[in-house]
Amino acid sequence: MVYIQGRRQKQNYLKHAGGSLGNSGGELTFKETGIYTVYAIASDKTGRTYTEQAVITVTDAPEMELDIDKGNRVYTRKTVRVSTRLSNIGDSEIAWYIEKKTVRKNRIMTM
């Protein structure tokens, strides 16, 4: 048992996250969004305890979909509609980039 803010606690990190923690740290995968305080409490042979803590904010992973209405082929000088669907990205802006691939003698080259 360990003490957090004067209260006796058992190791319960698996209640909120998956993963493994040991004396040198480890990895966690949080199950839900929220603000979590991660505590590390070390005890020596005399019974003294040393506590450190860190706060982490867990959010949903951002998602973005890109769609072109004509599929993946179109004639030159024809307009296609490009649409995006964003979630969990907030006030971010999209930067656009187009890369041209050309086919020469059965080889694809990036320009």
Q: What is the mean pLDDT of each run of 10 residues along the chain (111 residues)?
A: 58 82 90 91 84 92 85 84 85 86 68 59
State how far the Cα of 31 lies from the Cα of 15, in Å rounded to an integer.
Answer: 9
Q: What is the 3-state secondary structure (H, E, C) of the chain?
A: CEEECCEEECCCHHHHEEEEEECCEEEEEECCCEEEEEEEEEECCCCCEEEEEEEEEECCCCEEEEEECCCCCCCCCCCCCEEEEEECCCCCCCCCCCCCEEEECCEEEEC
Task: Judge if pTM exceeds 0.75.
Answer: no
pLDDT score of 10: 61
* Predicted pLDDT of residue 35: 94
